[in-house]
Amino acid sequence: MNETIPRLVLNLIGPGTISVFGLGFVGAWLIDRKRVYLLALATACLMFGTGMVVQVFHLPPDFAINALVSNLCYTIAVLMVSHGLLRRSGGALAPWFAAVTLALTSGLIAYFCYVDRDVQARIYVQNFGFGAILLLTAIQLRSLVHGRLIDRVLFWTLLVFSVQFFPRTLLTAASMRQGADPAGFGQSMFWQALQLSLAVLGAALALTMLIAALTDVIEDMRHERDIDELTGVRNRRGFEQLAERLLSRTGASAPSLIIADIDHFKQINDGYGHALGDAVLHRFGTMLATSVRGSDVVFRIGGEEFAILLPEEDGKAGELIARLQNNIAQTDFALPDSAQTITASFGVAVALPGESRQSWYARADKALYAAKHQGRDRAIFAGPAAALT
């Protein structure tokens, strides 16, 4: 009696811990319900914890049914981990693969329970199967090694956790001979090694997945905060933050700033209404975002005024503006035939050494004003650079 209670308490540490992680995934989903993969990870925690409780409390008491129920819970948990991680990266677990896996593992466990009562065989089926599923998932997610720090940590933690199934099982399952007493399973070397691996590597994987999920949620919230709802490009707040970061870099090429302003935009609003004006702004912002290079970033900084930050000054600002002017001419802004053709004016400034964001913006804005004053539909470079006409 005195030994049984502490043993049960120790055995419940695993299910309790995994339940806490499950609640964490549910909490993250409640913050950002677009991330459905969080529910898959929460389900994985629930099913794994349930499987452990089934084994610890021998519910149901029949050893064969207990093995089938716990295997079902564990298999669903592993499949949900795989599906959740793949879904997070834009993929998904094939339904047929999940169905075949469940049918195959359940069939093999049933065979080694009712036909050939072999505990060791059941151990190999489960552990090699689970390790293979997670290893295949890690291989599909190998691109994470080139991602953020949390993505790299997640990949390597998943890889180590999946691989450990094989040597751990080979080293410990031999103690479970054919026809071994199921009652002694909880005291076996295999079970103790399994609990240790779950307490260390399993908890590490669950914690890493939770941190990655929370990081995703935080970055998504930050992204939404810095996005202009009308145009879909970043807003003035995002512009100020990125501009400050670019100016604070050391040893890097000076960044360039392009300010674009739609010509005669007030006439569109006054003549055709704000709804049409908003539609023009949306199309203009989309056109800018699809015209710039991958390293360049577009912002709407107020009214009909947009900004483009070029992180590296490589002499391509002039080419970009020429491309933008051509794309503006090719874009259908859905205006009435009587409306004036949409054009834009541009002011360009390359950041000077030690220059503040306010000064940099003021020089580009002054160049934009000069382009407007000289007739619009043109670009002016701040400083000694010549105008594009």
Rounded Cα distance between 212 and 150, Å, is: 6
- As given in the structure block, the two tokens for residue 23 are 């609640």
Integer-rounded Cα radius of gyration of the chain: 30
Cα–Cα distances (Å) from 96 to 42, 75, 125, in that order, read 22, 14, 19
The amino acid present at 136, given as its one-letter code, is: L
Whether the ω angle into residue 61 lies within 30 degrees of 0, i.e. cis, is: no
* Helical spans, DSSP H, in the chain: 4-31, 37-56, 63-88, 95-110, 119-140, 149-172, 189-197, 203-225, 236-248, 265-272, 274-291, 317-330, 357-373
Catalytic residues: 304
Angle CA 182–188–193, to nearest 5: 130
Which H or E run includes 353? none
Neighbour tally for 278: CB within 10 Å: 14
Please report the DSSP string for 269-323 in residue order.
Answer: HHHH-HHHHHHHHHHHHHHHHHHS-TT-EEEEEETTEEEEEESS--S-HHHHHHH
Closest CA to 226 of 154, 309, 291: 309
Please report the DSSP string for 230-272 in residue order.
Answer: TTSSB-HHHHHHHHHHHHH-SSSPPPEEEEEEETTHHHHHHHH
- Which residues, 6+ apart, have CB-to-CB distance to 268 below 8 Å? 276, 277, 280, 335, 339
